[in-house]
């Protein structure tokens, strides 16, 4: 993929994880990015937190939750992506 935004996302989400590769993923469902792409916007649905198997069971259900310990990690990852991309 030849997109500086995707490259910044991949660098910052994969960094520090051995044997992990950032790659596009096709997923069912819809997000607000459905409306941005036709306008020429680059929109990526990214997951900023590590989710445990137990958390996956409740995903999009009545018991949806994430680890409190993951929240600061997710914010750091988002901040790193923005700073990385803005420096290009």
58-72 pLDDT, tens digit each: 777 777 778 888 899
pTM for this one?
0.75
* Structural domain range at position 21: 4-86
CA 87, CA 68: separation in Å to the nearest integer? 30
How many CA atoms, within 13 angstroms, populate the side-chain half-sphere of residue 80?
A: 16
Question: What angle do helix axes 4-14 and 70-86 make, rounded to 10 degrees?
Answer: 140
CA 70, CA 74: separation in Å to the nearest integer? 6
State the total domains in the chain: 1
CATH no. for residue 49?
1.10.150
Q: Which pLDDT value is given to residue 81?
A: 95
Give tens-digit pLDDT for 32-50: 777 888 898 877 878 888 8
CA 18, CA 34: separation in Å to the nearest integer? 32
Q: How confident is the model at residue 87 (pLDDT cuts 50, 70, 90)?
A: very high
């Amino acid at each position: 993929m030849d997109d500086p935004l995707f490259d910044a996302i991949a660098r910052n989400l994969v960094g520090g994880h051995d044997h992990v590769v950032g790659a596009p993923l096709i997923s069912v469902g819809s997000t607000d990015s459905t409306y941005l792409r036709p306008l020429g916007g680059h929109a990526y649905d990214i997951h900023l937190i590590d989710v445990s198997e137990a958390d996956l069971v409740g995903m999009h259900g009545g018991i949806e939750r994430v680890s409190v310990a993951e929240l600061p990690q997710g914010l750091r990852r988002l901040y790193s992506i923005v700073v990385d991309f803005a420096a290009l």
